[in-house]
Structure 1
Amino acid sequence: GVLWLVLGRVRLSEELATSVQLAAVIGVAAACDALRDDTGLISAVVMGMALANLPGLELPTRRPFFETLVSLIIGLLFVSISATVTPESLRHVVLPSLALTALLVLVTRPLIAHLAAAGTDVPARERWFIGWMAPRGIVAAATASTFSAELAAHHIAGAGRILPATFVVIVATVTLYGLTAFPVARRLGVLRPSRSRPLLVGGAPWAVDLARALSAAGLDVLMWAGADEERTRIEAAGLELAPGELMASAEGIGAVLEGITDVLLLTGEDDFNALASLTLRESVEGTVRRLAPSAASEGVVAPYAGGEALFDADLTRPEIVRRYEAGARVVTRTADGPPAAGEHVLFVVRPEGRLVPVTDGVRPEPVPGDTLVLLTET
């Protein structure tokens, strides 16, 4: 536990930290197995649950290296189980296993989901969907493969059927949920629209007007700002304000920002925009873009961070602020013709709700049906 806490505070590469943490888990599991047979898996699970709830432990929600490693291990486990299950071993367990699957799907999982969600604000339809989705997998497979061979070696009646029965339950539930997830979600009305959901970071007046314009174009806009004045301005505009701290939310510490498709860094601090873009690219699934600093910027990070900047090359952060203070405004209109004099295209919103930004390297071509988000000069 001490080692895990130290790794949570020391800045190591993800690969090194993950390797050491895995070594710690394996060491604990091996020590418990040495003291008493078949206790390693239980000790590893308990260790993970305990450490994940320590107040000083901070783990990001997304860890790409760890996710890749886990996928490889799970694949190896399932291949190993499949190789040990023969048609002969399935002969007498298929029907009982399918009956067990029906019990899990129709009774056990819905009951657990409703009990777990009792007293929370989870809507009833989402509770039913949670109760429907519960494919058997890694825990059942690991437990069965760990104990079945040992029980069979001690001539426990029915021990040889544990692994084949688990195999049938896994295949049946994965197949069932894989085929029914979308129809059930649509039937219950819990589908999330495929439209872009941008997160705008910054609460300057022009950024709030930009968020209003994107919202008017039909997008689900989320905003975040650090200063109280800016947060008040966002709330007064009727826009959704992201909870928590930006970096903490992105790294999975505190409020988790789910469903974000684009992060737009629009604050008045060029160095913050640059640093945040480097950090968020590793933890946010969507694209991350920032405003370009001025050509004469003397920032510590911003002039050297690289990456694709938002908008035309001449629309740097100071230039946008200057034009807005001079009377320019952010507006939307249909793409029924080329931009007029004094109009600068910032974004194109496709008919299906996909947000396409103008960057210093890419200028999307509007087509009929698109909505243009423009900075207009009055």
Structure 2
Amino acid sequence: MALAETAGLPAVLGLALVGGLGVGAQWLAWRLRLPAIVLMLAAGLIVGPGLGVLDPARDIGALLQPMIAVAVAIILFEGGLTLNFSSLADAARGVRRLVVLGAPLGWMASTLALHLAAGLDWATSAVFGGILIVTGPTVIAPLLRQARLRRRPAALLQWEAIVNDPVGALAAVLAFEVVGVVMTATGPGHAVAALAGGIALATALGAAAGWGLARAFANAWVPEYMKVAVLFVAVLAVFAVSDAVLHESGLLAVTVMGVWIANAHLPSYAEIRRFKEHATVLLVSGVFILLAANMDRETLAALDWRAAIFVLSVILVARPIPVLLALAFSDVPWKERLLVAFTGPRGVVLVAVAGLFGERLVAMGLEDGARIAPLAFALVAATVVLHGFTLAPLARFLGLSAGEAPGVVLVGGSPWSVGLAQALLRHDLPVMIADPNRGHLRQAREAGIRVYTGDILSEGAEHRLDLVPYEKVIAASDNDAYNTLVATDLAPEFGRDNVFQLNRDTSDSARYTLPAKLGGRAIGVGDTYANAQRRLWQGWEFRSTTLSDEFSLDDWRNANPEAHVVADLHNGRLRFVAPDRAPKNAPGVTLISLGPPRDRGGQAG
């Protein structure tokens, strides 16, 4: 009986609980529009030190640290996959300064904060200070999605987070090697040589693996269905080999590997990256739950007033000053400098690497090493909660937000697209019309609507267009096949529920009908392009009507028997109506409808 009481959860049940809590917290955050990281942190603390239901060290055992290490490696590799050099154009100098100047300055500032505020000795402060360079790609990505920043400040934060993660880990390795030289009789030349050799090997190994995989994929040496599997195995192999030579250098190797593949222009790159993003969502949520649940009450209780002063000093001094100095006299606008300076959430890599080095310092006889893990956790918790709730308001205050109301991208310049865009603009919703044919956009330009001349699916659009302000896509060109391609390609990015297209014209022959699983949702009453344009040529117009207690949806329908609702707007949220989705019927809801001329249809709204 005593054995059963101390055994805890079976490992499989523990992993299932971690997965359920992580994904459940992310889903709940999406529903409540809250920072997902905050809910994951809370869930881990509740089931871990709070209720004692889950103790990862007890329930998972010796596999816990390898699992976290592998998960962090895959997360950083996926981060490297997002770093296409073409997307760096606007932020290149700023990122270079943040890495080359900001990282060393941040290391020194963090070391001072640890020694003066937290009271750690110089050796422990130097090691932990190197780790504090990292700003956490695991938390930056969800925060950027929620805050909806403009393109350049978002790129600055994203690139800094991913590039500085392995840099911070290697800075900690360098400090640790120096401490080892001081604590032992080992010569400094040996430590420096080992460090330089490990970094060179990690960089070469990552670049070679990335080059080899890119060449193999481009020459079809690997079948499509095996590409993701081969990638996973390659990431694990590169990480393990590099880490065996120099601890934590594996993070650098997999990051270099990801960046190489991201810039290899592979035809299957989009599918590979999409799958890796899905895997990363699972890994980030799982690792966060594990790390939070692994904290014990005694460790949390050991956090005193000095820990609070340390956290404040990092947030208010050790992070902002190095960033502002690094970006001084650069072409980065001062508002963007302030946003980056006061946005430094820490995440999974910090806690994982800090715990590892804390144990090693204690083994070397430095008792302060035991304080690294709780201080790291306190900083992660504080910055995650702080930035989770303040990044979006700070961005709006500085004018760096992409906009409060999510907008709409209309693909295909036509009178129907222009009419709908004008109706949406009257409600201050961001709208853009894209079409490869400049002549199709003339009416939109004359109406003052933002346009993009080019293919929305092109690489140029991917690198030049800032799609963050837009939440929904309507494919409304005169080509059914192109509409279906646009809707199918953009659905994973925008969400299938947010991608629409004009109904396909299937009147000619079934042999030309595309599969129903492709494309987006129908919009309105399911008009085809020809029918939609015919209505506009006959004088139909887009109008807006706000429902009230005295004027309900039924009243509107009675007054406008021929008109049909295209979308409804309530509390700033736009929702397109489809044949299987009725408009909302509540006071305050604004209906955006398409109806005949007033003298014919008696339109009341």
TM range, normalised to the smaller chain? 0.7 to 0.9
CA displacement at 1:272 relative to structure 2? 0.9
Asked if the contact 1:215/1:221 (under 8 Å) is kept, the reply is: yes
1:133 is paired with a residue whose SS is coil
Match of 2:524 among 287, 311, 315: 311
Asked if the contact 1:198/1:263 (under 8 Å) is kept, the reply is: yes
User: Is 1:2–2:194 an aligned residue pair?
Assistant: no
The C-alpha deviation readout for 1:190-216, integer Å capped at 9, x for no partner, is 666553411111102332222112212
**Structure 1 counterpart of 2:384:** 174
Match of 2:445 among 228, 232, 235: 235
In the superposition, relative to structure 1, how do residues 156 and 83 fare at CA in structure 2: closer, same or farther (>3 Å)?
A: farther
Instruction: Give TM-score scaled by structure 2 length.
Output: 0.53
CA displacement at 1:310 relative to structure 2? 1.7
Alignment root-mean-square deviation, CA: 3.8
Match of 1:20 among 230, 233, 244: 230
Match of 1:373 among 582, 585, 593: 593
**Structure 2 counterpart of 1:338:** 556
Query: Quick one: distance in 1 between partners of 2:346 and 2:404?
Result: 28
Match of 2:243 among 28, 33, 41: 33
Asked if the contact 2:524/2:567 (under 8 Å) is kept, the reply is: no
Higher helix share: 2
The C-alpha deviation readout for 1:30-82, integer Å capped at 9, x for no partner, is 11133344432332334334544556688559956434432443344445545
Query: Quick one: distance in 1 between partners of 2:266 and 2:405?
Result: 37
Asked if the contact 1:289/1:309 (under 8 Å) is kept, the reply is: yes
Structure 2 residue runs of 5 or longer lacking an equivalent are 1-209, 601-605
**Aligned partner letter, 1:277:** A
**Structure 1 counterpart of 2:536:** 324
**Structure 1 counterpart of 2:579:** 360
**Structure 2 counterpart of 1:289:** 500
2:575 is paired with a residue whose SS is strand
CA displacement at 1:269 relative to structure 2? 0.1
**Aligned partner letter, 1:312:** V
Query: Quick one: distance in 2 between partners of 1:353 and 1:35?
Result: 55
**Aligned partner letter, 2:499:** V
Query: Quick one: distance in 2 between partners of 1:367 and 1:75?
Result: 37
The C-alpha deviation readout for 1:65-103, integer Å capped at 9, x for no partner, is 434432443344445545665455567664444333222
Match of 2:568 among 337, 349, 356: 349
Asked if the contact 2:406/2:429 (under 8 Å) is kept, the reply is: yes
CA displacement at 1:105 relative to structure 2? 1.0
Asked if the contact 2:503/2:528 (under 8 Å) is kept, the reply is: yes
Instruction: Give TM-score scaled by structure 1 length.
Output: 0.80
The C-alpha deviation readout for 1:322-372, integer Å capped at 9, x for no partner, is 3333x3232314256535568422423324333333323333255554243
Q: How does 1:94-113 map to 2 (within 5 A)?
A: 94-111=304-321
Q: Which of 220-229 and 108-117 deviates more?
A: 108-117
Q: How does 1:115-264 map to 2 (within 5 A)?
A: 115-116=326-327, 119-120=330-331, 124=335, 127-156=337-366, 158-181=368-391, 184=394, 188=398, 194-242=404-452, 245-248=455-458, 255-264=465-474
CA displacement at 1:174 relative to structure 2? 2.1
CA displacement at 1:29 relative to structure 2? 1.5
Query: Quick one: distance in 2 between partners of 1:70 and 1:302?
Result: 33
CA displacement at 1:308 relative to structure 2? 3.1
The runs of at least 4 consecutive aligned structure 1 residues that moved more than 6 Å come to none
1:262 is paired with a residue whose SS is strand
2:556 is paired with a residue whose SS is coil
1:238 is paired with a residue whose SS is coil
The C-alpha deviation readout for 1:240-261, integer Å capped at 9, x for no partner, is 1247641247995553411322
Instruction: Answer 1 or 2: higher relative contact order, Cα 8 Å, separation at least 6.
Output: 2
Query: Quick one: distance in 2 between partners of 1:356 and 1:155?
Result: 62
Aligned residues: 373
Query: Quick one: distance in 1 between partners of 2:302 and 2:583?
Result: 61
2:258 is paired with a residue whose SS is helix
Query: Quick one: distance in 1 between partners of 2:581 and 2:276?
Result: 33
In the superposition, relative to structure 1, how do residues 127 and 21 fare at CA in structure 2: closer, same or farther (>3 Å)?
A: same
**Aligned partner letter, 2:566:** F
Structure 1 residue runs of 5 or longer lacking an equivalent are none
Asked if the contact 1:202/1:266 (under 8 Å) is kept, the reply is: yes
1:28 is paired with a residue whose SS is helix
Asked if the contact 1:292/1:316 (under 8 Å) is kept, the reply is: yes
CA displacement at 1:274 relative to structure 2? 1.5
Query: Quick one: distance in 2 between partners of 1:281 and 1:258?
Result: 15
**Aligned partner letter, 1:20:** V
Asked if the contact 2:475/2:483 (under 8 Å) is kept, the reply is: yes
2:457 is paired with a residue whose SS is helix
Q: Which of 113-122 and 142-151 deviates more?
A: 113-122
